[in-house]
Amino acid sequence: MKIIGPDYLVFGVDNVDDCIQYLTDYGLKPHSRDGGGTYLEALDGTGVKIYLRSDASLPAAMETATTLRETVYGVADEASLQAIESELRKDREVVRGEDGVLRCRDDMGFALGFQITKRRALDLPAEASHAPGAPAARAVNALGASNDIAALPRSLSHVVYFVPDAVKAEAFYNRLGFVCTDRFVDTGPFLRPAGTQDHHTLFLIQTPPFMKGIEHFTFHLGGPTEVMLAGSRFVEKGYESFWGPGRHQLGSNWFWYFNSPMGCHVEYDADMDMHDEAWTARVAAPGADNSQYFLFHYQQKWFPGGPPAKH
């Protein structure tokens, strides 16, 4: 089952216009309207759909306050889609919609979809960094950073769920070929499906039942400078930083999280580790020391000799 990762997420919200504006300012491009919903996409076509909470076409809402209504995964081919359908029909209802999406619910009640991925192949340079002792990473006179860098979301990276039973939730995704790459003790696993080498496309966090829902989602950017640029521009537009910028330990990805009108956090990330079947999952105690190597806080720009920077 070559599941690649989430192709798109679906939200049902009260403040549709606010959410569309937020995601547009985040860097996604409004692409199309589908019935009552608006699709906003990253450079590779992965994205987020925003609907009014009461839209009758949405999967039923969870019993909690989460606004996430569906996670739709992209798979490599029809054979993978059929394998998923065969596995899931063993113990639950599975429906293939007119849009070609195979739909069900996981063991925690999250609405899931699977489709042959609509991701577009990207041909974009990664951030290049010079270092003594290594060959030059950029041409002579080529700048390493510039205000002209777009720093746009390239691809939907991963989603994080709060779940009341992380062991049961993990077992469901193991059936679909997800493997644990790393784990926080008594918290939950980072999971990688078979169609990607990204450290994780799903992270499960054990919480009380009333918290069940989405904690955050994130899109990959082109490197740490893009994370810093995109996050700084987002702050300057008036959005509230929640956590970061910094660099995670498990996964190694650079991060910057923000509060959002969808009732979850939204992250920028870059430079995530990649793993294959030879990797042995690490086990770490939860807590700040194992969550990040370092953590910064945004402050306004400053120049030596000028007035003190405002914190």
What is the distance of C-alpha 123 from the center of its chain? 21
Query: Is residue 215 one of the residues assigned to a domain?
Result: yes
Query: Is residue 53 one of the residues assigned to a domain?
Result: yes
Averaged pLDDT score across all residues of the chain: 95
- List, for residues 146-155, the tens digit of each pLDDT value: 999 999 999 9
Give the pLDDT of residue 159.
98
Query: Is residue 182 one of the residues assigned to a domain?
Result: yes
Query: Is residue 234 one of the residues assigned to a domain?
Result: yes
- CA angle 155/160/166 to nearest 5° reads 145
Local confidence band at 305 (pLDDT 50, 70, 90 cut-offs): confident
Q: What is the reported pTM?
A: 0.95
- List, for residues 250-272, the tens digit of each pLDDT value: 999 999 999 999 999 999 999 99
Give the pLDDT of residue 82.
96
Q: Which of the 8 DSSP states describes residue 211? A: G
Instruction: Detail the DSSP E strand segments found in the chain.
Output: 3-13, 29-34, 37-41, 47-52, 68-75, 95-96, 102-105, 111-116, 155-163, 179-184, 188-192, 202-206, 213-220, 241-248, 254-259, 265-270, 282-284, 292-295
Local confidence band at 310 (pLDDT 50, 70, 90 cut-offs): low
DSSP bridge pairs for 307 = none
Query: Is residue 66 one of the residues assigned to a domain?
Result: yes
* Residue 299 backbone phi and psi in degrees, to 5: -145, 165
Task: Give the separation between CA 263 and CA 211, rounded to whole angstroms.
Answer: 12
Domain range enclosing 23: 3-118+153-295
Please determine, for residue 242, whether its predicted confidence score (pLDDT) is greater than 60.
yes
Task: Give the separation between CA 157 and CA 221, rounded to whole angstroms.
Answer: 9
Give the pLDDT of residue 36.
81
Peptide bond into 308 cis (omega under 30): no
Query: Is residue 163 one of the residues assigned to a domain?
Result: yes
Structural contact between residues 201 and 192, judged by C-beta atoms closer than 8 angstroms? yes
Query: Is residue 302 one of the residues assigned to a domain?
Result: no
- The mean pLDDT of 291-296, rounded to a whole number, is 95
Tally of domains in the chain: 1
Q: The CATH number of the domain where 89 resides is what?
A: 3.10.180.10
Query: Is residue 129 one of the residues assigned to a domain?
Result: no
Q: Residue 294 burial by CB count (10 A; 0-12/13-18/19+): exposed, middle or buried?
A: exposed
Give the pLDDT of residue 304.
87
